Structure 1
């Protein structure tokens, strides 16, 4: 891929991810070192206490950071590693994962992400904070799994 992808192209990439399609994830912003993913809070995404499962929060944070990194390179972003801190139980009607590139080089990007719960009134509460390192696969490796 040459150049930086646009929102329409990035949405096609998200739609091609079977797990993202299963969860119903939407890419609502993409460009200039930032990406935002949105996910409805559904009963089947909750744990036994009624909050969104931590694995779902980790997924949406990791994927948002990879998309943010994708705005910084024409190559395929692959997560090299990340950490997440759960700062509040996640509830509300939906989640927003807002990621941004902190620093990008030719081979790696460091990104941060805030995951917020959106309440019925539209108010937002931070429920998780993540930081990750995204590597860029060379074009020759794009066909490998």
Structure 2
């Protein structure tokens, strides 16, 4: 079985935490991945914004799936950094990740995270960069 969108969705569904958050992969392949989740009350912090930990989760998983689309399914996050640009509010979080540079055993990836409002307008809320490694 190749590592395609259907397989990526099965991998995501095998992660209990991803199921808890209701995350879904909407695009996958060619060094890119898109992860989405609905913004709901249980995921907010005290000021009504999406919790930074949820943004970090989305960046981590999107980066790793993008890297996996280039390196194969047996990958792990080597590390990442995230910069919060503005508070995330709206109905949906979209994390779009791409491979910036790929090798045989690692890929450097970037992820832009957008909050989507009820009309479908996207607002950049965070930017992340990380390294994805093939699993030992």
Q: What TM-score do you get using the length of structure 2 for normalisation?
A: 0.97
Matched, 1:28 2:36: no
Please report how far the alpha carbon of residue 104 of structure 1 lies from its aligned counterpart in structure 2 after TM superposition: 0.8
Which entry has the higher C-alpha Rg, 1 or 2?
1
For residues 1-145 of structure 1, the aligned pairs below 5 Å read 5-138=3-136
Preserved CA contact (<8 Å) 2:71 2:106? no
Structure 2 regions of 5+ residues with no counterpart? Answer: none
C-alpha distance in 2 between matches for 1:84 and 1:32? 23
Q: Deviations over 1:73-123 (max 9, x none)?
A: 225110011000000000000100000000111111000000000001100
C-alpha distance in 2 between matches for 1:75 and 1:50? 36
C-alpha distance in 2 between matches for 1:51 and 1:127? 11
Q: Secondary structure at the match of 1:71?
A: helix
Structure 1 regions of 5+ residues with no counterpart? Answer: 139-145
Structure 1 runs of 4+ with >6 Å offset: none
Q: What TM-score do you get using the length of structure 1 for normalisation?
A: 0.91
Q: Secondary structure at the match of 2:56?
A: helix
C-alpha distance in 2 between matches for 1:44 and 1:12? 25
Please report how far the alpha carbon of residue 63 of structure 1 lies from its aligned counterpart in structure 2 after TM superposition: 0.2
C-alpha distance in 2 between matches for 1:75 and 1:36? 16
What number of residue pairs does the alignment pair up? 136
C-alpha distance in 1 between matches for 2:51 and 2:122? 18
C-alpha distance in 1 between matches for 2:119 and 2:103? 40
